[in-house]
C-alpha cells in the first residue's frame, strides 16, 4: 500500500538508498535534511571558526544531489534550537558531573524521532524513515512494535535507538535494516547515486570530526588536578576530569614512571570530590573489571521492564559495538535497574547506556550510574 513517507536525508549513502528503496516500492517520498547544530553560536566564534570541521553545508549539497537523482522533493529544516535544549544541555551537564554521555542516543529519541517526526506528521506523512541499521517488527501476539537488530551485525544501530517508544516505532520504517552495508553500497553504485562512495561519518552527531577536547574546552572550564596510580602516588597532572573517560589509554600525558614497568596506562576512576584521576597499568587490571552495574533513567520499548527477572539471562551492552554479554536483570518501578553479569565487564562507564536484548529484540536500557 502506497504511503506518504518523509525520509531523513543526511547526505550519506544509507539514507540515500533508504529513499530510493521507498520510491521504488511506490511510496510518495519527501526528503528532509535536518540541521541540528549552529556553529555560529559557539563561544568565541568568528567567521572562520568552523576550522574546516563543519560539514553541514557539504552534506546538504550531497542530500540535494541525491534527491535530484531519485526525483523527490527536499526540504531543509533547522532543529538546532531543539537540539540545544533537549540534547546539548544534558550533554554538558553530564560532562560537568564527571560522567561520559552518549548524545547520539538522546539525539535519536528527542530530535530524529520526536522533533523530526512531529514535523513530518505536519507535512501529512503517514510514516518516517531513516537510514539506520535496525528493524521494526509488529508482534501480533502482544500487539506491540519491537525494535530488532539490523541484519548486518557489524552495522547494527539498535543500541542508539533503544529509547524509542511504541508511538515512535509505529510510525517508523528502517528499509536498509534488512540489508548488509556492502549491498547498500552496491545499490548506490548501480543506480548512480553521487554519494555512493562517500565515507561513513564517525564523529559525534553535532561535533563531527573536529578534535573533541578542543570543542569541549569552549564550554567547560579546565580544572587541573593530580593523576594518581593504584598505589596512591601522584605521577602526573590531568587537564580536567571532564576530558577523560574510563578505559581511556591515549592522551594521558604520562611518561616513564620510576619503579613501574613500561606498560600502557588506563583511566580507572574519577574522584570528583578531590579532582583526582586514578590510573592503572594493564588492560585487565581489577579496577577496570565490573560484574554489577546500576542504571537509572530507564526507558523500555514495551513501556515496562521485561517480565522475567532474577535468574533469567539477557544479553546486555555497556557500549556500542560490544558483543552482548550474559546478565541477569533486577528492575524496579522507579526507572532504575541492576545488571549482574556472568563475566566481568571492562571499563563500565557512568553516563553511557546499558542496553538490554532478548536475542534479536532490543528491550530498552538506562544510563549507567555506577558499577562495582
Contacts (Cβ under 8 Å, ≥6 apart) of 324:
315, 316, 317, 357
For 73, other C-beta atoms within 10 Å of its C-beta total: 12
Three-state DSSP at 341 gives: strand
Burial class of 51 by CB neighbour count within 10 A (0 to 12, 13 to 18, 19+)? exposed
Three-state DSSP at 27 gives: coil
362 has catalytic annotation: no
**Residue 114 CA: distances (Å) to CA of 180, 237, 295:** 27, 42, 24
Torsion over CA of 352, 172, 145 and 174, rounded to 10 degrees? -80
Instruction: Say if residues 331 and 337 touch (Cβ distance below 8 Å).
Output: yes
For 183, other C-beta atoms within 10 Å of its C-beta total: 14
Residues with a catalytic annotation lie at: 107, 205
Amino acid at each position: 500500500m502506497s504511503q506518504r513517507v518523509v525520509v531523513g536525508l543526511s547526505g550519506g549513502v544509507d539514507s540515500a538508498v533508504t529513499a530510493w528503496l521507498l520510491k521504488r516500492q511506490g511510496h510518495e517520498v519527501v526528503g528532509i535534511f535536518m540541521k541540528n547544530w549552529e556553529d555560529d553560536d559557539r563561544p568565541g566564534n568568528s567567521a572562520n571558526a568552523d576550522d574546516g570541521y563543519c560539514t553541514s553545508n557539504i552534506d546538504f549539497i550531497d542530500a540535494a544531489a541525491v534527491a535530484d537523482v531519485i526525483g523527490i522533493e527536499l526540504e531543509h529544516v533547522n532543529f538546532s534550537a531543539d537540539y540545544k535544549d533537549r540534547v546539548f544541555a544534558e550533554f554538558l551537564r553530564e560532562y560537568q558531573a564527571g560522567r561520559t554521555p552518549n548524545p547520539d542516543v538522546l539525539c535519536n529519541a528527542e530530535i530524529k524521532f520526536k522533533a523530526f517526526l512531529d514535523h513530518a506528521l505536519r507535512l501529512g506523512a503517514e510514516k518516517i524513515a531513516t537510514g539506520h541499521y535496525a528493524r521494526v517488527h509488529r508482534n501480533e501476539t502482544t500487539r506491540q512494535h519491537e525494535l530488532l537488530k539490523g541484519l548486518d551485525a557489524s552495522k547494527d544501530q539498535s543500541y542508539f535507538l533503544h529509547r524509542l517508544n511504541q508511538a515512535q516505532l509505529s510510525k517508523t520504517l528502517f528499509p536498509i535494516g534488512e540489508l548488509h552495508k556492502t549491498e547498500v553500497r552496491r545499490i548506490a553504485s548501480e543506480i548512480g547515486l553521487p554519494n555512493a562512495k562517500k565515507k561513513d561519518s564517525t564523529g559525534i552527531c553535532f561535533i563531527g570530526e573536529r578534535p573533541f577536547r578542543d570543542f569541549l574546552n569552549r564550554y567547560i572550564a579546565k580544572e587541573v588536578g593530580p593523576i594518581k596510580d593504584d598505589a596512591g602516588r601522584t605521577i602526573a597532572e590531568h587537564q580536567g576530569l571532564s576530558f577523560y573517560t574510563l578505559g581511556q589509554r591515549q592522551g594521558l600525558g604520562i611518561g616513564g614512571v620510576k619503579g613501574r614497568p613500561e606498560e600502557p596506562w588506563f583511566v580507572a576512576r574519577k574522584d570528583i570530590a578531590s579532582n583526582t584521576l586514578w590510573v592503572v597499568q594493564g588492560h585487565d587490571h581489577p579496577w577496570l573489571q565490573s560484574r554489577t552495574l546500576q542504571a537509572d533513567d530507564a526507558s523500555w520499548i514495551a513501556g515496562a521492564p521485561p517480565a522475567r527477572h532474577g535468574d533469567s539471562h539477557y544479553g546486555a551492552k555497556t557500549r556500542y559495538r560490544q558483543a552482548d554479554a550474559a546478565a541477569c536483570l533486577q528492575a524496579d518501578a522507579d526507572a532504575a535497574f541492576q545488571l549482574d553479569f556472568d563475566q566481568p565487564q571492562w571499563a563500565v562507564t557512568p553516563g553511557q547506556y546499558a542496553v538490554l536484548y532478548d536475542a534479536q529484540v532490543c528491550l530498552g536500557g538506562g544510563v549507567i550510574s555506577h558499577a562495582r
